[in-house]
Amino acid sequence: MPCVLLLLPAAGYANQDFIAAAARLNIELVACADHCRVLARGWGLPPLMSVPFDRPDAAVRQVLRALTRPVDAVLAVDDHGAALAARLRVALSLPGNPPEAVATLTDKLHFRQLQQSIGLLHPAFVGVEDDGAGVAGALGFPLVVKARRLNASRGVIRVDDADQYARAIRKVRAIQARVQRHAETLGVLVERFIPGIEVALDGVLSDGALQVLAVFDKPDPLDGPTFVETLFVTPSRLPAGIQRELATAVQRACVAAGVKDGVVHAEARINDAGVWLLEIAPRSIGGLCGRVLTATLGMNTAEIVLRHALGLPLPTQENAGAAGVMMIPALAGGIFQGIEGVASANAVSGITHIEVTAYPGQLVAPPPEGTGYLGFIFSSAPTPQEAEAALRAAYAALTVRIQALVQA
Protein backbone atom coordinates (compact mmCIF):
# COMPACT_ATOMS: atom_id res chain seq x y z
CA MET A 1 0.00 0.00 0.00
CA PRO A 2 1.49 3.38 -0.97
CA CYS A 3 1.92 5.94 1.79
CA VAL A 4 1.52 9.72 1.50
CA LEU A 5 2.56 12.33 4.05
CA LEU A 6 -0.22 14.92 3.89
CA LEU A 7 0.06 18.43 5.33
CA LEU A 8 -3.37 19.61 6.46
CA PRO A 9 -4.39 23.24 7.07
CA ALA A 10 -6.46 24.33 10.04
CA ALA A 11 -10.15 24.17 9.12
CA GLY A 12 -9.30 23.35 5.52
CA TYR A 13 -12.43 22.74 3.46
CA ALA A 14 -10.66 20.18 1.25
CA ASN A 15 -9.24 18.01 4.04
CA GLN A 16 -12.15 15.57 3.85
CA ASP A 17 -11.86 15.34 0.05
CA PHE A 18 -8.22 14.25 0.32
CA ILE A 19 -9.04 11.74 3.06
CA ALA A 20 -11.91 10.25 1.04
CA ALA A 21 -9.83 10.11 -2.17
CA ALA A 22 -7.01 8.32 -0.34
CA ALA A 23 -9.47 5.73 0.93
CA ARG A 24 -10.82 5.13 -2.61
CA LEU A 25 -7.28 4.69 -3.95
CA ASN A 26 -6.16 2.46 -1.05
CA ILE A 27 -3.50 4.97 0.04
CA GLU A 28 -2.28 5.15 3.62
CA LEU A 29 -2.14 8.71 4.94
CA VAL A 30 0.33 9.99 7.47
CA ALA A 31 -1.12 13.37 8.39
CA CYS A 32 0.42 16.38 10.05
CA ALA A 33 -1.12 19.77 10.63
CA ASP A 34 -0.43 23.19 12.02
CA HIS A 35 -3.13 22.92 14.68
CA CYS A 36 -4.27 20.75 17.56
CA ARG A 37 -4.15 17.04 16.76
CA VAL A 38 -7.43 16.32 18.57
CA LEU A 39 -9.26 17.77 15.55
CA ALA A 40 -8.22 14.62 13.65
CA ARG A 41 -10.84 12.62 15.51
CA GLY A 42 -13.62 14.31 13.58
CA TRP A 43 -11.92 13.57 10.26
CA GLY A 44 -11.64 9.80 10.72
CA LEU A 45 -7.85 9.92 10.89
CA PRO A 46 -5.52 8.31 13.39
CA PRO A 47 -3.79 10.83 15.68
CA LEU A 48 -1.76 13.22 13.57
CA MET A 49 1.38 15.22 14.15
CA SER A 50 0.94 18.84 15.12
CA VAL A 51 3.86 20.80 13.69
CA PRO A 52 4.65 24.52 13.21
CA PHE A 53 4.33 25.12 9.46
CA ASP A 54 5.83 28.60 9.78
CA ARG A 55 9.00 27.24 11.45
CA PRO A 56 10.14 24.76 8.79
CA ASP A 57 13.47 23.79 10.37
CA ALA A 58 11.76 22.69 13.58
CA ALA A 59 8.89 21.10 11.66
CA VAL A 60 11.21 19.00 9.47
CA ARG A 61 13.08 17.70 12.51
CA GLN A 62 9.84 16.84 14.25
CA VAL A 63 8.37 14.98 11.27
CA LEU A 64 11.57 13.01 10.61
CA ARG A 65 11.68 11.89 14.25
CA ALA A 66 8.03 10.84 14.21
CA LEU A 67 7.88 8.88 10.93
CA THR A 68 7.80 5.13 11.48
CA ARG A 69 7.63 3.98 7.87
CA PRO A 70 8.82 5.18 4.45
CA VAL A 71 6.52 7.54 2.54
CA ASP A 72 6.12 7.68 -1.23
CA ALA A 73 5.11 11.35 -1.54
CA VAL A 74 4.70 14.52 0.48
CA LEU A 75 1.74 16.74 -0.40
CA ALA A 76 0.26 19.95 0.96
CA VAL A 77 -3.47 20.55 0.77
CA ASP A 78 -3.10 24.34 0.44
CA ASP A 79 -0.60 27.20 0.11
CA HIS A 80 0.17 27.28 3.81
CA GLY A 81 1.92 23.93 3.72
CA ALA A 82 3.59 24.21 0.30
CA ALA A 83 6.97 25.46 1.52
CA LEU A 84 7.19 22.84 4.27
CA ALA A 85 6.20 20.06 1.86
CA ALA A 86 9.05 21.05 -0.45
CA ARG A 87 11.53 21.01 2.46
CA LEU A 88 10.29 17.60 3.58
CA ARG A 89 10.68 16.13 0.09
CA VAL A 90 14.31 17.20 0.10
CA ALA A 91 14.87 15.75 3.57
CA LEU A 92 13.25 12.45 2.55
CA SER A 93 15.02 12.31 -0.86
CA LEU A 94 11.70 12.32 -2.72
CA PRO A 95 11.18 13.86 -6.16
CA GLY A 96 9.32 17.13 -6.52
CA ASN A 97 9.72 20.85 -6.92
CA PRO A 98 12.66 22.33 -4.95
CA PRO A 99 11.93 24.77 -2.10
CA GLU A 100 13.41 27.75 -3.94
CA ALA A 101 11.12 27.10 -6.94
CA VAL A 102 8.05 26.94 -4.73
CA ALA A 103 9.18 30.17 -3.03
CA THR A 104 9.39 31.94 -6.39
CA LEU A 105 5.77 31.18 -7.19
CA THR A 106 4.40 31.91 -3.74
CA ASP A 107 6.03 35.35 -3.41
CA LYS A 108 4.15 37.87 -5.57
CA LEU A 109 7.17 40.17 -5.95
CA HIS A 110 9.48 37.34 -6.98
CA PHE A 111 6.86 36.13 -9.46
CA ARG A 112 6.67 39.56 -11.09
CA GLN A 113 10.47 39.65 -11.32
CA LEU A 114 10.39 36.21 -12.97
CA GLN A 115 7.85 37.38 -15.56
CA GLN A 116 10.00 40.39 -16.30
CA SER A 117 13.11 38.26 -16.77
CA ILE A 118 11.54 35.90 -19.33
CA GLY A 119 9.56 38.48 -21.28
CA LEU A 120 6.00 37.63 -20.21
CA LEU A 121 3.41 40.41 -20.07
CA HIS A 122 3.42 42.01 -16.62
CA PRO A 123 2.36 45.31 -15.07
CA ALA A 124 4.82 47.96 -13.91
CA PHE A 125 5.62 47.08 -10.29
CA VAL A 126 7.73 48.02 -7.29
CA GLY A 127 8.50 46.24 -4.03
CA VAL A 128 7.89 48.65 -1.15
CA GLU A 129 9.53 48.24 2.26
CA ASP A 130 8.48 51.58 3.81
CA ASP A 131 5.54 53.94 3.32
CA GLY A 132 6.09 53.85 -0.45
CA ALA A 133 6.27 57.63 -0.84
CA GLY A 134 7.00 58.50 -4.46
CA VAL A 135 6.05 55.08 -5.84
CA ALA A 136 2.52 56.05 -6.84
CA GLY A 137 3.73 59.05 -8.80
CA ALA A 138 6.22 56.92 -10.71
CA LEU A 139 3.74 54.15 -11.59
CA GLY A 140 0.55 56.15 -12.05
CA PHE A 141 -2.99 55.28 -10.93
CA PRO A 142 -4.91 53.03 -10.72
CA LEU A 143 -2.67 50.77 -8.64
CA VAL A 144 -3.04 47.57 -6.65
CA VAL A 145 -1.32 47.12 -3.28
CA LYS A 146 -0.67 43.46 -2.43
CA ALA A 147 0.66 41.45 0.48
CA ARG A 148 3.47 39.40 -0.98
CA ARG A 149 2.62 35.93 0.36
CA LEU A 150 -1.08 35.88 1.16
CA ASN A 151 -3.77 34.25 -0.96
CA ALA A 152 -7.56 34.28 -1.55
CA SER A 153 -7.60 38.07 -2.19
CA ARG A 154 -6.39 38.71 1.36
CA GLY A 155 -4.33 41.88 1.59
CA VAL A 156 -5.11 43.02 -1.99
CA ILE A 157 -6.56 46.52 -2.49
CA ARG A 158 -7.02 48.70 -5.59
CA VAL A 159 -6.33 52.42 -5.13
CA ASP A 160 -7.19 55.31 -7.42
CA ASP A 161 -5.58 58.29 -5.69
CA ALA A 162 -2.84 59.25 -3.25
CA ASP A 163 -5.03 59.19 -0.13
CA GLN A 164 -6.34 55.69 -0.92
CA TYR A 165 -2.78 54.59 -1.61
CA ALA A 166 -1.43 55.76 1.76
CA ARG A 167 -4.30 54.06 3.62
CA ALA A 168 -3.89 50.84 1.62
CA ILE A 169 -0.16 50.59 2.36
CA ARG A 170 -0.87 50.82 6.10
CA LYS A 171 -3.78 48.40 5.92
CA VAL A 172 -2.00 45.74 3.87
CA ARG A 173 1.02 45.91 6.16
CA ALA A 174 -1.26 45.40 9.18
CA ILE A 175 -3.05 42.42 7.58
CA GLN A 176 0.27 40.83 6.62
CA ALA A 177 1.70 41.34 10.12
CA ARG A 178 -1.31 39.65 11.75
CA VAL A 179 -0.99 36.41 9.84
CA GLN A 180 2.69 35.96 8.94
CA ARG A 181 5.84 35.54 10.98
CA HIS A 182 8.53 38.12 10.12
CA ALA A 183 6.09 39.93 7.80
CA GLU A 184 7.74 43.23 8.63
CA THR A 185 10.79 42.17 6.60
CA LEU A 186 8.74 41.35 3.49
CA GLY A 187 7.33 44.67 2.46
CA VAL A 188 4.45 44.81 -0.02
CA LEU A 189 4.04 44.77 -3.79
CA VAL A 190 2.64 47.79 -5.61
CA GLU A 191 1.71 47.40 -9.28
CA ARG A 192 -0.40 48.98 -12.02
CA PHE A 193 -3.97 47.70 -12.15
CA ILE A 194 -4.54 45.38 -15.14
CA PRO A 195 -7.94 45.91 -16.81
CA GLY A 196 -9.73 43.03 -18.48
CA ILE A 197 -11.62 39.83 -17.76
CA GLU A 198 -10.23 37.33 -15.28
CA VAL A 199 -9.82 33.58 -15.79
CA ALA A 200 -8.18 30.67 -14.01
CA LEU A 201 -6.42 27.51 -15.15
CA ASP A 202 -5.85 24.22 -13.36
CA GLY A 203 -3.28 21.85 -14.79
CA VAL A 204 -0.76 19.12 -14.07
CA LEU A 205 2.94 19.43 -14.85
CA SER A 206 4.97 16.34 -15.70
CA ASP A 207 8.67 17.05 -16.33
CA GLY A 208 7.72 20.60 -17.34
CA ALA A 209 4.93 19.63 -19.76
CA LEU A 210 1.51 21.03 -18.84
CA GLN A 211 -1.70 19.03 -19.13
CA VAL A 212 -4.63 21.44 -18.81
CA LEU A 213 -7.39 20.09 -16.59
CA ALA A 214 -9.72 23.08 -16.87
CA VAL A 215 -9.88 26.72 -17.85
CA PHE A 216 -12.42 28.64 -15.75
CA ASP A 217 -14.26 31.81 -16.65
CA LYS A 218 -14.90 34.25 -13.79
CA PRO A 219 -18.04 35.98 -15.05
CA ASP A 220 -18.30 38.55 -12.23
CA PRO A 221 -16.11 41.66 -12.77
CA LEU A 222 -13.11 41.90 -10.44
CA ASP A 223 -12.21 45.57 -10.62
CA GLY A 224 -11.77 46.44 -6.93
CA PRO A 225 -11.35 48.10 -4.58
CA THR A 226 -11.29 44.60 -3.05
CA PHE A 227 -11.40 41.37 -5.02
CA VAL A 228 -14.08 38.95 -3.81
CA GLU A 229 -14.03 35.88 -6.06
CA THR A 230 -17.39 34.21 -6.57
CA LEU A 231 -18.14 32.33 -9.81
CA PHE A 232 -15.95 29.79 -11.62
CA VAL A 233 -17.41 28.16 -14.76
CA THR A 234 -15.80 25.58 -17.06
CA PRO A 235 -15.24 25.03 -19.94
CA SER A 236 -14.19 28.58 -20.71
CA ARG A 237 -15.98 30.52 -23.41
CA LEU A 238 -12.72 32.17 -24.48
CA PRO A 239 -11.48 31.53 -28.04
CA ALA A 240 -9.30 28.43 -28.31
CA GLY A 241 -6.31 30.52 -29.35
CA ILE A 242 -6.46 32.62 -26.18
CA GLN A 243 -6.72 29.47 -24.07
CA ARG A 244 -3.61 28.06 -25.76
CA GLU A 245 -1.79 31.36 -25.13
CA LEU A 246 -2.77 31.13 -21.45
CA ALA A 247 -1.52 27.54 -21.16
CA THR A 248 1.75 28.43 -22.89
CA ALA A 249 2.37 31.36 -20.53
CA VAL A 250 1.65 29.20 -17.47
CA GLN A 251 4.02 26.47 -18.64
CA ARG A 252 6.79 28.99 -19.44
CA ALA A 253 6.52 30.66 -16.06
CA CYS A 254 6.48 27.38 -14.14
CA VAL A 255 9.49 25.95 -15.94
CA ALA A 256 11.42 29.22 -15.54
CA ALA A 257 10.68 29.15 -11.81
CA GLY A 258 11.85 25.54 -11.55
CA VAL A 259 8.39 24.13 -10.87
CA LYS A 260 8.17 21.19 -13.26
CA ASP A 261 5.98 18.66 -11.48
CA GLY A 262 2.58 18.55 -9.81
CA VAL A 263 -0.72 20.36 -9.91
CA VAL A 264 -0.77 24.15 -10.46
CA HIS A 265 -3.50 26.78 -10.27
CA ALA A 266 -3.03 29.97 -12.29
CA GLU A 267 -4.96 33.25 -12.35
CA ALA A 268 -4.78 35.64 -15.29
CA ARG A 269 -6.29 38.76 -16.84
CA ILE A 270 -7.14 38.89 -20.54
CA ASN A 271 -7.35 42.12 -22.55
CA ASP A 272 -6.49 43.39 -26.03
CA ALA A 273 -2.77 43.22 -25.24
CA GLY A 274 -2.93 39.50 -24.46
CA VAL A 275 -2.58 37.24 -21.41
CA TRP A 276 -1.32 38.75 -18.14
CA LEU A 277 -0.59 36.16 -15.49
CA LEU A 278 -1.57 37.40 -12.04
CA GLU A 279 -0.11 34.50 -10.06
CA ILE A 280 0.53 30.77 -10.12
CA ALA A 281 0.19 28.55 -7.06
CA PRO A 282 1.82 25.09 -6.84
CA ARG A 283 -1.49 23.51 -5.81
CA SER A 284 -4.96 22.83 -7.19
CA ILE A 285 -7.92 25.23 -7.09
CA GLY A 286 -8.68 26.14 -3.48
CA GLY A 287 -11.32 25.16 -0.96
CA LEU A 288 -14.03 22.76 -2.12
CA CYS A 289 -13.92 24.23 -5.64
CA GLY A 290 -11.96 21.19 -6.81
CA ARG A 291 -15.18 19.18 -6.67
CA VAL A 292 -16.40 21.00 -9.77
CA LEU A 293 -14.08 18.86 -11.91
CA THR A 294 -16.02 15.72 -10.97
CA ALA A 295 -18.67 16.79 -13.47
CA THR A 296 -16.18 17.37 -16.31
CA LEU A 297 -13.33 14.94 -15.57
CA GLY A 298 -14.97 12.27 -13.41
CA MET A 299 -12.86 13.00 -10.31
CA ASN A 300 -12.14 15.92 -8.01
CA THR A 301 -8.77 17.63 -7.73
CA ALA A 302 -7.91 15.86 -4.46
CA GLU A 303 -7.94 12.55 -6.30
CA ILE A 304 -6.03 14.04 -9.23
CA VAL A 305 -3.30 15.34 -6.88
CA LEU A 306 -2.91 11.95 -5.19
CA ARG A 307 -2.94 10.05 -8.48
CA HIS A 308 -0.27 12.25 -10.01
CA ALA A 309 1.98 12.04 -6.96
CA LEU A 310 1.94 8.24 -7.10
CA GLY A 311 2.13 7.85 -10.89
CA LEU A 312 -1.44 6.59 -11.26
CA PRO A 313 -3.47 7.30 -14.44
CA LEU A 314 -5.04 10.73 -14.76
CA PRO A 315 -8.25 11.69 -16.61
CA THR A 316 -7.52 12.14 -20.31
CA GLN A 317 -10.93 13.02 -21.73
CA GLU A 318 -13.47 15.57 -20.60
CA ASN A 319 -17.13 14.65 -20.21
CA ALA A 320 -19.67 16.56 -22.25
CA GLY A 321 -21.33 19.56 -20.71
CA ALA A 322 -20.27 22.27 -18.31
CA ALA A 323 -19.96 22.84 -14.58
CA GLY A 324 -19.57 25.70 -12.18
CA VAL A 325 -19.06 26.61 -8.57
CA MET A 326 -19.99 29.70 -6.62
CA MET A 327 -18.13 30.52 -3.43
CA ILE A 328 -20.67 32.13 -1.11
CA PRO A 329 -18.93 35.32 0.04
CA ALA A 330 -19.04 37.04 3.39
CA LEU A 331 -20.04 40.48 2.17
CA ALA A 332 -19.88 41.97 5.66
CA GLY A 333 -17.86 41.34 8.79
CA GLY A 334 -19.42 40.00 11.96
CA ILE A 335 -20.79 36.83 13.54
CA PHE A 336 -22.14 34.29 11.06
CA GLN A 337 -25.63 33.15 12.08
CA GLY A 338 -26.61 30.92 9.18
CA ILE A 339 -27.96 30.76 5.63
CA GLU A 340 -31.67 30.52 4.88
CA GLY A 341 -33.21 29.19 1.68
CA VAL A 342 -30.81 26.31 1.06
CA ALA A 343 -33.65 23.91 0.18
CA SER A 344 -35.05 26.34 -2.40
CA ALA A 345 -31.59 26.94 -3.86
CA ASN A 346 -30.97 23.20 -4.10
CA ALA A 347 -34.19 22.85 -6.09
CA VAL A 348 -32.93 25.13 -8.89
CA SER A 349 -32.48 23.18 -12.13
CA GLY A 350 -28.79 22.43 -12.71
CA ILE A 351 -27.71 22.67 -9.07
CA THR A 352 -25.98 19.48 -7.97
CA HIS A 353 -25.37 20.34 -4.31
CA ILE A 354 -24.78 23.12 -1.82
CA GLU A 355 -22.43 22.89 1.14
CA VAL A 356 -22.42 25.47 3.92
CA THR A 357 -18.95 25.38 5.49
CA ALA A 358 -19.17 28.24 7.99
CA TYR A 359 -20.68 27.44 11.37
CA PRO A 360 -23.02 29.58 13.50
CA GLY A 361 -21.06 31.81 15.83
CA GLN A 362 -18.01 31.98 13.56
CA LEU A 363 -16.40 35.37 13.05
CA VAL A 364 -16.28 36.20 9.34
CA ALA A 365 -14.90 39.05 7.26
CA PRO A 366 -14.69 39.85 3.54
CA PRO A 367 -11.41 40.54 1.76
CA PRO A 368 -8.99 42.18 2.18
CA GLU A 369 -9.02 41.07 5.85
CA GLY A 370 -10.91 37.78 5.50
CA THR A 371 -9.96 34.69 3.58
CA GLY A 372 -12.72 32.11 3.92
CA TYR A 373 -16.11 31.62 2.31
CA LEU A 374 -19.43 30.69 3.88
CA GLY A 375 -20.08 27.79 1.56
CA PHE A 376 -20.10 26.51 -2.01
CA ILE A 377 -22.81 26.05 -4.65
CA PHE A 378 -22.17 23.54 -7.46
CA SER A 379 -23.88 23.27 -10.84
CA SER A 380 -23.78 20.98 -13.86
CA ALA A 381 -25.51 21.80 -17.17
CA PRO A 382 -25.23 21.26 -20.93
CA THR A 383 -23.57 24.68 -21.51
CA PRO A 384 -21.44 27.14 -19.52
CA GLN A 385 -24.21 29.74 -19.83
CA GLU A 386 -26.72 27.38 -18.20
CA ALA A 387 -24.25 26.37 -15.48
CA GLU A 388 -23.67 30.05 -14.66
CA ALA A 389 -27.40 30.88 -14.70
CA ALA A 390 -28.14 28.05 -12.27
CA LEU A 391 -25.53 29.34 -9.83
CA ARG A 392 -26.92 32.88 -9.97
CA ALA A 393 -30.49 31.67 -9.44
CA ALA A 394 -29.49 29.49 -6.50
CA TYR A 395 -27.52 32.29 -4.85
CA ALA A 396 -30.48 34.64 -5.28
CA ALA A 397 -32.60 32.18 -3.29
CA LEU A 398 -30.27 32.37 -0.28
CA THR A 399 -30.39 34.79 2.62
CA VAL A 400 -27.13 35.12 4.55
CA ARG A 401 -27.39 36.16 8.20
CA ILE A 402 -24.38 37.97 9.67
CA GLN A 403 -24.67 39.90 12.93
CA ALA A 404 -22.57 43.04 13.00
CA LEU A 405 -20.13 43.36 15.86
CA VAL A 406 -20.99 45.99 18.46
CA GLN A 407 -18.29 48.62 18.65
CA ALA A 408 -17.11 49.35 22.19
Three-state SS sequence of the chain: CCEEEEEECCCCCCHHHHHHHHHHCCCEEEEEECCCHHHHHHHCCCCCEECCCCCHHHHHHHHHHHCCCCCCEEEECCHHHHHHHHHHHHHCCCCCCCHHHHHHHHCHHHHHHHHHHHCCCCCCEEEECCCCCCHHHHHCCCEEEEECCCCCCCCEEEECCHHHHHHHHHHHHHHHHHHCCCHHHCCEEEEECCCCEEEEEEEEEECCEEEEEEEEEECCCCCCCCCCCCEEEECCCCCHHHHHHHHHHHHHHHHHHCCCCEEEEEEEEEECCEEEEEEEECCCCCHHHHHHHHHHHCCCHHHHHHHHHCCCCCCCCCCCCEEEEEEECCCCCEEEEEEECHHHHHCCCCEEEEEECCCCCCEECCCCCCCCCCEEEEEEECCHHHHHHHHHHHHHCCEEEEECCCCC
Q: Which of 123-132, 161-170, 313-322 has the highest mean pLDDT?
A: 161-170
**Distance in angstroms (rounded) separating the CA atoms of residues 49 and 63:** 8
Q: What pLDDT shows up at residue 222?
A: 93
Q: What is the mean pLDDT of residues 10-33?
A: 85
Q: What pLDDT shows up at residue 305?
A: 95
The pLDDT-based confidence of 40 (bands split at 50, 70, 90) is very low
**CA angle (41, 45, 49) in 5-degree steps:** 90
Q: What pLDDT shows up at residue 77?
A: 86
Counting residues of the chain whose pLDDT is more than 90, the rounded percentage is 71
Q: Which of 4-18, 142-156, 248-262 has the highest mean pLDDT?
A: 248-262
| Mean pLDDT (the chain, rounded) | 90
Q: Which domains occur in the chain, in start order? A: 3-103 (3.40.50.20), 124-192 (3.30.1490.20), 322-408 (3.90.1170.50)
Does the pLDDT of residue 408 top 70, yes or no? no
The pLDDT-based confidence of 12 (bands split at 50, 70, 90) is low
Does the pLDDT of residue 42 top 70, yes or no? no
Each residue's pLDDT tens digit, 58-92: 999 999 998 988 999 999 988 888 999 999 999 99
**Distance in angstroms (rounded) separating the CA atoms of residues 149 and 106:** 6
